[in-house]
């Protein structure tokens, strides 16, 4: 099914920046194509200057129905799910021409979500693992300029174990099912706090130090080495800021 849809698609190349080329796979007569190209350049430039890196080739495949998305992923996807980045510099996303029809997002979100997915590709160049998920997602959110809030009285605040509910993919997915917005918002707020209070470079160094296989124990050790404090102490600082 997805193969047939792919066959009908056209491919164009886009200059994203110095030594960086993008490719867009799209359906003929997609009225959003020019906008996609503009947003692709914007997202790449933003991510590239944030991470101070280049990616020579990125392919963006525009997706036109929930069914096509489900076929690509291999299972049913929830209505908030609009795109993803894989491990070989490929991004799949709903075209703006179907964005609000196929998801519960506003079409306006396209640009930031595309930038978010591009950021994932850059993060993967620094650290080739998706875990801890809160750090990956929070950083992609932050770098893409997305904003998120949680109600101050959300019980998730003041839970000293909260990070270890959203560190592995399995635990993250479990939390997502029960309350889809909370893990993303929390991940963003935490990374935002770490960057504002302890610098972006330290977050990048932390990512670099983690190696490709996540372990809670190693994470806590590396964290203490870089921040000079236990993660629990930093979490307390974070919570007290949120409750201010």
- Encode 141-179: b = buried (16+ Cβ within 10 Å), e = exposed: bbbbebebebeeeeebbeeeebbbbbbbeebbeebbeee
Q: For the CB of residue 135, give the shortest distance to Zn ion in the complex, in Å.
A: 11
What's the rounded Cα separation, in Å, for the pair 197 and 213?
Answer: 27
Q: For the CB of residue 144, give the shortest distance to Zn ion in the complex, in Å.
A: 9
Q: Which of 218, 232, 221, 224 is nearest to 161 (CA)?
A: 232
Judged by CB under 5 A, the chain residues 29 through 58 that form the site for Zn ion are none
Q: How many residues bind Zn ion (CB under 5 A)?
A: 2
Closer residue to Zn ion in complex, CB, 22/83: 83
Closer residue to Zn ion in complex, CB, 81/238: 81
Closer residue to Zn ion in complex, CB, 170/217: 170
Closer residue to Zn ion in complex, CB, 62/93: 93
Q: How far is CA 208 from CA 29, 123, 205, in A?
A: 43, 10, 5
Q: What are the tokens at 11?
A: 């491919």
Judged by CB under 5 A, the chain residues 124 through 153 that form the site for Zn ion are 137, 140
Q: Are 165 and 157 in contact (CB under 8 A)?
A: no
Q: For the CB of residue 15, give the shortest distance to Zn ion in the complex, in Å.
A: 25
Q: For the CB of residue 122, give the shortest distance to Zn ion in the complex, in Å.
A: 12
Applying CB under 5 A, the residues found at the interface with Zn ion are 137, 140
């Amino acid at each position: 099914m997805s193969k047939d849809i792919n066959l009908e698609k056209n491919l164009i190349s886009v200059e994203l920046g110095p030594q960086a080329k993008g490719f867009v796979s799209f359906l003929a007569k997609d009225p959003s194509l020019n906008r996609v190209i503009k947003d692709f350049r914007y997202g790449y430039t933003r991510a590239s200057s944030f991470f101070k890196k280049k990616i020579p080739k990125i392919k963006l495949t525009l997706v036109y129905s929930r069914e096509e998305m489900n076929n690509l992923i291999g299972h049913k996807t929830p209505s908030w799910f609009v795109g993803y980045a894989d491990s070989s510099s490929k991004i799949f996303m709903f075209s703006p021409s179907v964005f609000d029809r196929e998801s519960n997002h506003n079409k306006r979100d396209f640009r930031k979500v595309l930038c978010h997915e591009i950021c994932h590709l850059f993060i993967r160049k620094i650290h080739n693992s998706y875990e801890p998920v809160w750090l990956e997602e929070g950083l992609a959110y932050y770098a893409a300029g997305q904003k998120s809030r949680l109600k101050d009285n959300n019980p998730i605040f003041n839970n000293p174990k909260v990070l270890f509910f959203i560190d592995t993919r399995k635990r993250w997915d479990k939390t997502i099912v029960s309350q889809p917005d909370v893990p993303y918002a929390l991940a963003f707020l935490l990374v935002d706090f770490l960057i504002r209070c302890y610098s972006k470079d330290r977050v990048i160094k932390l990512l670099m130090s983690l190696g490709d296989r996540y372990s809670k124990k190693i994470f806590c050790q590396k964290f203490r080495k870089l921040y000079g404090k236990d993660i629990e102490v930093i979490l307390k600082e974070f919570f007290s800021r949120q409750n201010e």
